[in-house]
Each structure stands twice: as C-alpha cells, then as structure tokens.
Structure 1
Amino acid sequence: MLFNRRTPTSVLLVALISSTALMLPTGAAAAASVCANPSAPGQVISDASWHQQWLTPQRVWPFSTGAGVRVAVVDSGSDGDHPQLNGQVANGFDALRGTSGGDIDCVSHGTAVTSLIAARPQEGIGFHGLAPDATILPIRVSEQAGSGGGETPGESVSTEIFAQAIRRAVDDGADVVNMSVTLYRPDPDVEGAIRYARERDVVLVAAAGNLHRNGEQSDPVPYPAAYDGVIGVGAIDQQGARVEQSQVGPYVDLVAPGGGVVAATRVNGHAIWSGTSFATPLVSATAALIRAAEPELSATQVSRRLLATADPARGGPGQGYGQGVLNPYRAVTERLSTAAPVAPAPLPDPPYDAVALERAQRWHVLGRVALWGGLSVAVLALAIGATVLLLPRGRRLRWHPIRPGEPPPSGPEIDDPEEAFFRVPTSLPRG
C-alpha cells in the first residue's frame, strides 16, 4: 500500500506494500543494531514462482543477463548477505544515516525488490532474478512497511533527502534507477532530481501505487511515476488481471507480474509479496537486460523498446494496463527503427554467358522434341491398344470392310448397331 506521512517540516516516504502483501514468518532472529524492529527472515521456497513461468527468463539469457549494468534500488536497503544476492549488491548509500552502507535492510522490502532483479539461480531453489548478472546499487531511504493506509513505525527520509538519494544513485554510476516508493503530491526537489537523471541518460522506473479506489473518485496521483520520463508500472496477477489495489491513471505505462510473487527476505529465505512495488523491479531488470545487450541505446530508446514490445493486456490504459504486459524476451530481441522505409533497389541485369545461353537453347529444343515425341508415342500406343481390343471381336462376328458407296448386303433388319457395323452375313454361300 502507498502511504503519505506528514511532519511539520516534510513529507516522508513509505515503501509500497499492501495490507496482504507480505507474509512474514514468526520468530525473528537477532538483527543488526541499526534496525529498531527487524523483520524475520522467511522460509526457503523451492518452487518456481508463477511470474518466472510467465516471463521465462531462460529464453532471454542467451542474449543478455544484465552483466555490466548497475541498477540503483532506492528503497529500504538491500541485504547483500542473502545467499542469492551475495556478490551482487554493492555497498551503496544509507540516506537515513547520511553514510555509506545501503546493503542492510530492516524490513525486507528492498531486499525483495533487489532479488526480483538480480538474485542468482541456486541449486534446489526455484526462485531467481530476471537479470542475475546485474549489479545492485542500494540507496536506503526508508525502513517502513505499512498496511491499511495509516502511519507505520520506522524512519523515512524527507522529500529533499529522497531527491538527493536519486542524484546520488546517478552520480554513483546507475544505468537504471528502480523506485518502489512513492509520494502523493508533486515536489520540486524530486522533480529536479528526475530531470537530473534524465539528462544523464538514466532509465527511471517507478511504482504506480497501491491506492486504487473502486468508487467514482479517481486514484491519487503517484510521484515520481507521474513525472515525464519515468516508466510507471502497474501490477497484474496470475490470470493477467490487474491487481485490485494497483492504481489506474495515465501514469501507468505498462504492467508486470506483481500479485503473489515469490521474492527474497532479509538474511535468507523467501516470502510471497503483492503490489506494484514488486512489478516495478521486473521492468527495471528488463531495462538492464536491454542496456547490457545494446549499450549504445539511450535511456529514451530503452523506454520506447519496453513499451513497444509489451504484450496485449486484458484492458487498455483506461483500465490501468498501460501499453500492455512486460515481455523481456521481445524487449531484448526485437529491434525498433524510426528511419523511413528503404525503397527496394532495382535488380541488376544478369551477366551475359554465351555458353550458358547456347546450352539453354539446346535444352529448349530437346524439350520440345521430347514433348512431341512423347505425344506421338502415346497416340500410337492408344491406336494399337484399340486395335488389339477390337480385332478379336470383329473376327468372331465375321466382319469385313466395304468400299465407299457399296450398298449394304440384303437381309433382315438388324436392331443391334454393333452387329450392323460388323455386317454379319445372313446365309452361307453355296459351293
């Protein structure tokens, strides 16, 4: 669920989580001293999540695994000690403390987002990320998890610090910035940071929010998803239908699996998560796959590719589906072009070859001779066949030829035309 928490001096950020989004096991272990109320790690889930069967990342890995691309995850941090993330997560930046060290996570939200991007395949584990060779740059801006739209415990940065975190991600070399956090009013500092990132050719992806209203009232506008140049992501479930809380509005550019997907928790294990927070990293991961496969493409071209290669959805933009459903394989393998169609060049004249021409003419003559010879043989064979069939019958009926003009022999009328043809004599001559 998206939240908007206010203090007298700032608007605070809260990570996107629905009231049923996170199923955390009980019995939390000891956490680092930096976490006031750390969430418990999850149980290992060995089965593959439905979203992996939907997106089939193995099809795209022969073309790209995201190697060499840095994806900034602006969230609650990313636990780099998770077995599937070990070696994938850089040290990053903790905007809550103003120091390095974004690779810790108190509430698992940022770790789940990170794992959907870059978790490595592991023996006996069905879950893995979509771009397993991408590098994660964690930017820690919150340690909140909420439900029901109210305030939740845990710290969060102001919009000013959030804007600085985006700039920090860009300055630290991010090629893609994933923002599974949201504000519900525009902010000039955040808008300026988005513009700063766009000017430096960074792909920006943000969650479209989880405050959908079923009544006549329109959904609140989420930022930074609503800013120009940011890809706003909605969530669908296993049936391809929009997740109930996923917002509807022109800021939704496309949708991705986000209803009941498997992702990692802090320390180790996995949990089931729902919401636009968890659809967003799948789009960010696909952007990383594109940037690794074609590093010469600009951020604008990558965004265009993502939208142009989306699959048809169960609804259109007016129903919260944007341009369609994310398709990583198409996004990486299909090419786009704005160039005008190229007119076909005229075919060149075939080279003159006197020997080949003479041979062709000779074969043409032989072909005609063979054709007429074959027809003549066929006619002759038919004539011989007819003679062979008719001659025994004529002898049996004692026929004989007559000259033209010779009167027919006298005798009784013959009703059978066939017998008339063969001229059967009515009496034998006397000797």
Structure 2
Amino acid sequence: MVDPNSLNEEDIRELQNDPLFSEIMTKIMKERWSDQHLRSLDTMTLYLTVKSLMMSSAVADPERDMYLDRDRCSEIYQKVKEDFENEEVSDDLIETYKKNLRPLKDQAEKWKTDLRKEIFGKKYEEIEELRVSDRKDKEEAINRIEEDHQHSRNEELWDEIDEIESKISHISQFPYSVEQIKEDPPTANGDPNHFLKHCAVRIYKPNLYSQLYVHEAEYEDYPLKWVPAPVCEDRLAYGAFKQGEMPEAVITGRVNSEGYLDELLSDVEIVPPFRQRTDLIEEVVANYRDERYASVINLILPQIEFLMWKYAAHLDSNRNVDILIDADYTDPWELNIREEDDMKLVNIDGDPLEEYPIRDLVQQTALREHLNPDIVQYFVNELFEERNPILHGNLSDYHTELEAAKKILFFEHILSQLIDSIGDHYTERAKEMDEFDEIDVPMEYMTADE
C-alpha cells in the first residue's frame, strides 16, 4: 500500500482526478456513512423503509396505480387508510388477504410436490404412505429416506424447494402489523401514502409481490431471464412472453434509455485495463447510435472476452478466489493469456484444467459463483455459441438492434460487477485500518434516492 506521507501535491491531484480512486472513495464513504447513521435509526423505521423499497422494486408505481383504479382494489385502499388512521388491523382485510393468497399457496405446494417426486422417484409414494400410517417410527423412516436423497445431484432441487418455502413464508405475512401502523409510513417521491398504496395492491393481488413466477415451468424457456432487470420489469416482460410476444424492449429500452451509453463510457474509465481501450468502446457506442449493429457486435465480442479474463484475474489476486494457477503476471490487470505458458485454470472442485477456453473459464471455474446462474447460461449457450461463427465469418444475419443491445447490456453488467468487486476489496481493506472509524461523514452526504 502506498504511504500517504510520500505523496506530493501533484500525486494527490492525479489521484483525485482518477476515476477508480473516486469510485473507491465513494464506496468507502458510503460504507462509513452506513456505519455512522443507519445504526442510529430506529429498528422499526429501518424495517419499514426496506420493506417499502422491496415492494417498489416488485411493482412499479404505474402498475400499482393501474390496480388502484379498479373498484375492488380502491375499496381495499380505503380500508387500509382507515387502519392506519385508527391504528388497528382490520379482520376483514386479513380474511381478504388469506382468500387472495390461497391460489398462490396451492400452486407453490404443487411445485414442491413435483420437485419432491423428481428427487425421490418411486420412494415418493412410500414417504406419503408413511405419513398417513400408524407406524410409531414413521418420522425416523421418512428421515432415513430423505437423508438417502440429500446427495449433490439433488442439491438444486432441494434449493428450489427451500426458495419456494421462503417466498411463501414471506408473502404469507400480512403487509402490516399494529406495531408498524404506529410508525410514520415511509414516503417516496413526495407521496405520504406510497407505502399504504402498495399494501392495498399486495392485499388485492399478492402474487405481484411474491416473485414466485420464476418457478413456473414456462420460465425455464424464457430467453431473457438472464437480463439484469428490476423484478417488476422482468415479471411484465415474462408475462408478455407467455402471451406469445418477444419483449425486446426489456433490452433495447434499457440500452436506448437516456444516459445509459454515456454512463457506460464513464464506467470504462474506472477499470484500469480498459483505459487503453476507451476508443474501442467509444466506437461501439457510436456504431450503435448510428445503427451499425454488425460493427457493434464484431467490436464488442473480443472486449467481453477480455473483460471476463480481467474479472477472473481480479478475483484470483484480490478476492482470494482460486481460479488461476502457475500464472506469471504480478498485476491482475496485466494478465495476457497468450503470454502465460504454464498457467492453468482450476475448476470448481479444485482440479486443474489442461486447456482454458473462455467457455470453461465461465462454466467450470469459481468465476461462475460470482455471476448470476442465468448469466452463465446465456454466455455458454448463446453468446459463446455465436462468437466463433460471427468472428470467423460464418454468419451473415446476426446484426440486429436486439443482438447488438444484448452484447452491450451483457458487457455493461459484467463491468459493473467488476467495479463493485474492486470497491468492495478496497473498502474491506480500509475498514481494517484504525483511521476508518475516525472518518466523519455528515448525514447529508447521501441523497434521498441513495
């Protein structure tokens, strides 16, 4: 680590103008702000704020207001407001919520049953017979069968059952309690009834807030599930897909939104190895704006591969994630796989891989644990499969706006993850220093949106 006392004024000015230094300092300041101020907040106030944010991410305000315009939902909203005024929870609303929740819980039970049948096979019927039997040792017998089916090949199925149960447990709770009513509800965008409106819509249509739609069989075939979109956008786009539409706007709308591409160019400046490639990304952006989509794809595919290797090198060097062995580089940003004669990849089980194509890096190493599983699936099954045919000239019909936007969105998402990981690394190091606790960050440092 650089000794701060050895820095002269010119060094300090250069640091202050460095985008990476600025990003790291912002991350450290936010962490310190959280330490100073979030802990001082009343527990219930913090809980309600987080709850309000989660409901807003599940259902955007325009969709929420659409439901509030319906007569039955409007009636529920009026009763919710009465509850908050009278500081009581209406038994009528509780019963309404239970009734509206029942189909969702029944569907969740069916999914869990199907998953258990897949796990236990022929043993499933035996377990069910044991449950209704008079055997005194039936619990022990069921436990023995379940233990015999806990092996790794069923791990994903058990995890999905746990996830469904967790979501049902969460959504089964009525949106508010008497204790919560006594607190001032969180506001948003100047609307003091923001929280109450979401509570009303959740009572009226609880499935909107459950995120259980990802367990539907059709979701497995949804081609855009890898897209890093807010829950509300993903759910609506998936709904359109089920109706036979391809909701391309989930991707193109994001890339075409105001400021998105400019922010991408700013982010590129943060990561040191891309500073020498700024002109390439600027050309990608210019080509996309001018609708030269083939040029966008041809330029960005090699940059995606370059980015994945840099992310892996950063995780291996700075985050203690075993991905590379026998590498000669001293700085992760300087990794060049063509100059690494002895380097090998380490798979998820710790075994070395003799070759290291980019597909294996993403699919078989610990890098995949730092990526959303749907991102890994998209990279391996679609993006990688397109890469060679495109770059070797074997495809001629790949240059659409959607395909260009996909590659840009993928690149931006991985770049953002790398930037976050770099920030986390230096924040953790800063927190180990005695001086961290002496940093005083005023309450006004964070904006209301943040």
Could you say which TM-score interval applies, normalised by the shorter chain?
A: under 0.3
Please, what TM-score do these two structures have when normalized by structure 1? Answer: 0.21
Choose between structure 1 and 2 for higher RCO, CA contacts under 8 A separated by at least 6 residues. 2
TM-score by length of 2: 0.21
Larger Rg: 1
Structure with the larger strand share: 1
